[in-house]
């Protein structure tokens, strides 16, 4: 995966260092190795490798990590633009 990179400086991932207790749960669940232990706390080591899946903030016990996960699906995003978040559905029963 090292040779597959996407757009830079767009992701919403953020780490609140003060809240981090160094449990390492995020390093276990991230599918791209974006986070790594740095001494007794965690550090973002590859911000642009993040795909905003939300595994890390779902499993952070202290809420130190925040990310806005979303459906990276063009059809859905178009629906959100047109109909708004409440009424957007995916591309119909054929999608996911």
Partner 1 sequence: MTTQGSSQSEDSSKHSCACGGAQTGSEPGAAPLEMLPIFHEPAETEDEPCCGPPADPPSSRDEKPGYTIRGFVAEFHSTPAGTVPAIKTKLAPVDHMGTLMVRMGIKRNNYKVAPGLYAVGRPHADAPVLVTANYKLSFDHLRKHLSVIDAWLLVLDTRGINVWCAAGKGTFGTQEVIRQVLQTGLAQLVNHRRIILPQLGAPGVSAQNVKKGCGFEVVWGPIRAVDVPAFLAADQKADEAMRRVTFTVAERMTLAPVEISLACKPVLWALLTIFIVSGIGPHVFSLTAAWQRSLLAVSGCLAGILAGCILVPLLLPWIPGRAFAIKGSLMGLASAIVVLAAWYSNAFLSFGSGLALILLTTAVASFLAMNFTGTTPFTSPSGVEKEMRKAIPLQIAAVVLAAAMWIGAAF
The site for partner 1 (CB under 8 A) is made up of: 1, 3-8, 10-12, 25, 28-33, 49-55, 58-59, 61, 68-78, 91, 93-96
Owner of token pair 């925040």: 66
Closest CA to 15 of 31, 36, 29, 39: 36
The residue among 45 and 77 lying less far from partner 1, judged by its C-beta, is: 77
User: In the bound complex, what is the minimum distance in angstroms from residue 17's beta carbon to partner 1?
Assistant: 20
H/E stretch holding 26? helix 25-29
User: In the bound complex, what is the minimum distance in angstroms from residue 83's beta carbon to partner 1?
Assistant: 15
Could you tell me the sign of the dihedral formed by the alpha carbons of 10, 12, 13, 14, in that order? Answer: positive
User: In the bound complex, what is the minimum distance in angstroms from residue 35's beta carbon to partner 1?
Assistant: 12
């Amino acid at each position: 995966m090292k040779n597959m990179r996407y757009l830079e400086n767009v992701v919403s991932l953020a780490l609140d260092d003060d809240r981090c207790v160094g449990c390492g749960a995020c390093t276990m669940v991230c599918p791209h190795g974006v986070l790594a232990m740095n001494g007794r706390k965690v550090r973002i080591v590859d911000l642009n490798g993040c795909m905003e899946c939300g595994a890390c903030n779902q499993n952070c016990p202290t809420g130190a990590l925040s990310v806005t996960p979303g459906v990276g699906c063009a059809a859905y995003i178009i629906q959100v633009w047109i109909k708004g978040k409440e009424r957007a559905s995916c591309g119909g029963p054929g999608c996911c």
